[in-house]
Structure 1
């Protein structure tokens, strides 16, 4: 059988409508995950603070990448937890290990984000306070 017959034709309408799944995922994340809401609030505050402190393009890139890093870690953690809950609703030490490691990924991302925030903002804050 020809491989082309198995593939669907490109459709701009289908590509645009596929964003609905991502929006649905964002709704679930924000509705069900308290830590994700905290990460989003902190991200907004960092962006506001970035404008106030008039940071440069490279610093914006670093901060935006770091914000994305934390949010992606939180999203994957949520996915791992959901899959684990479906596969094994009862308590299982193996599932706990998996969930703990996924939570650790978010913690590592958040610690890195705090470190990046300090590198970007602390020198400006110090010079602002000294003046």
Structure 2
């Protein structure tokens, strides 16, 4: 097998692992299920209100940002629990900071949604 083939096969395997991780995240984490619901809702709203290309780009970027950060937050929680299964003050701070990053992104996404949709609703 040439280096090009092994590179391509390794990239395809990596995509498979990433897809498996995304499916696992969506199946097992309640917070991402809420975010998937919100993403579907604003996507439907985007079609209904015929939002602009720029509004779509912002909406897609925020959906991706929030869901990606939620995945990273979940990974941080898993690795923290693996490293230190018992309650620990520093691990708690680490988890809180990771959750805070998701919270900041989610609030930003909600504000962007208000900027996009409030003028169309009223």
Give TM class, smaller chain: over 0.9
Alignment of 1:1-131 (within 5 A): 9-11=3-5, 12-126=8-122
CA RMSD of aligned residues (A): 1.2
Count of paired positions: 119
Alpha-carbon offset, residue 48 of structure 1: 0.7
Runs of 4+ in 1 over 6 A off after TM superposition: none
- If the length of structure 2 is used for normalisation, what is the TM-score? 0.93
- If the length of structure 1 is used for normalisation, what is the TM-score? 0.86
Looking at structure 2, the residues matched to 10 and 108 of structure 1 have their Cα atoms a distance apart, in angstroms, of: 41
Tell me, which stretches of 5 or more residues in structure 2 are unaligned? none
SS at match of 1:55: coil
Looking at structure 1, the residues matched to 93 and 39 of structure 2 have their Cα atoms a distance apart, in angstroms, of: 29
